[in-house]
Structure 1
Amino acid sequence: MIDIKRLAVNEENLEQIVDLYHTVWKNEDPLIKQRIQKHSTYQGFKGVIALHRTGEVTGFSYGYVSLPGQYYNQLLSKEFKPDEKQKWLEDCFELVELAVHPSYRKQGIGKLLVSKLLEDAHTKTAVLTTQINNVPARRLYESLGWRSLKEPFFPNNQNDPYVIYGKQL
């Protein structure tokens, strides 16, 4: 049994989320905790977690209102023509992270997390990025009505190609 709840950014939840992040992305990003704490102060921040009946965090997702001056808003702004920028970024929720523990994938948890996260969003659009070769994520987003806005996208001239997805809310 999985329960989807609003994320309260507190020490206990953060430790579980950081552990899950490292498991999912197979890295030890030393700044993820600070980044989540910082993001939780952004306008329109909303996060959700998937909890197993044992209390284990099996997934999480979060985002916030995308505003000029924010890191990803600036990156995405450079990728869009003026009319696209106005359409997609002017009144936009930015889905920043989605992670589901490998043992709990293919059970609809990702869909539940994304749907709950966007529930009651007070923006016209939502955007996200994912790696071009992340086929499971791309299938998930496309099944939820997201569409590719630009690919390839190379954030900060990285070698790994990404795709920018958008969704009208």
Structure 2
Amino acid sequence: MVKILELASNEIIQQVSELYKEVWMSEDNSIKERIIKHSSYKGYRGFVILSKEDKVIGFSYGYTSLPGQFYHELLAKEFNSEEYHNWLKDCFEFVELAVHPSYRKQGLVKLLSTKLLENLENKTAILTTQNDNNSARSLYESLHWKVLKEAFYPSNSKQPYVIMGKELM
């Protein structure tokens, strides 16, 4: 049995940071600071799944995407005015999702994704993932996300990403 909790306490954020580094094989410590910063954004919500031993084994979070936010501005450059109006005007930004490799293929990714978008008042949701991350793309497509843009290069990334969107209302 797993428990779903809000991504809020310092202890939970620390565990999320450790999970993030393990999942993405990264020494990047900035996830803690990003979560703390993003938790002050309008519409922020985050969830974790705990194992039977009360260890974080998965998490997801996001917030309302607004002008002036770093990623909103990056995405806005990729859209014409009609696309911007349709996708970013009243949008929830799905920022992060990860599940420990030992707990994959148990429906936890779908559970976290669904929980994060549940009862949102935004018209749309948007996310990005690596262009070649076929498992993530397949998952999102199975959850009715659609590809909006291919070959998006956020910041100075040399790796292409895909922008995906989902209508919520």
Counterpart of 1:6 in structure 2 is: 6
Residue correspondence of structure 1 range 34-113 to structure 2 within 5 A: 34-113=33-112
Residue correspondence of structure 1 range 15-26 to structure 2 within 5 A: 15-26=14-25
Contact kept? 1:4, 1:112, Cα under 8 Å: no
TM-score (norm 1): 0.97
How far did 1:2 drift? 1.6
CA RMSD of aligned residues (A): 0.8
The SS at the match of 1:29 is coil
Contact kept? 2:17, 2:29, Cα under 8 Å: no
> What do the CA deviations read for 1:2-59 (whole angstroms, capped 9, x no partner)?
222222x221101100000000110011211111100000000000111112101110
Counterpart of 2:31 in structure 1 is: 32
Contact kept? 1:66, 1:93, Cα under 8 Å: yes
Deviates more, 1:125-134 or 1:24-33: 24-33
Gaps of 5+ in 2: none
Gaps of 5+ in 1: none
Identity among equivalent positions (%) equals 57
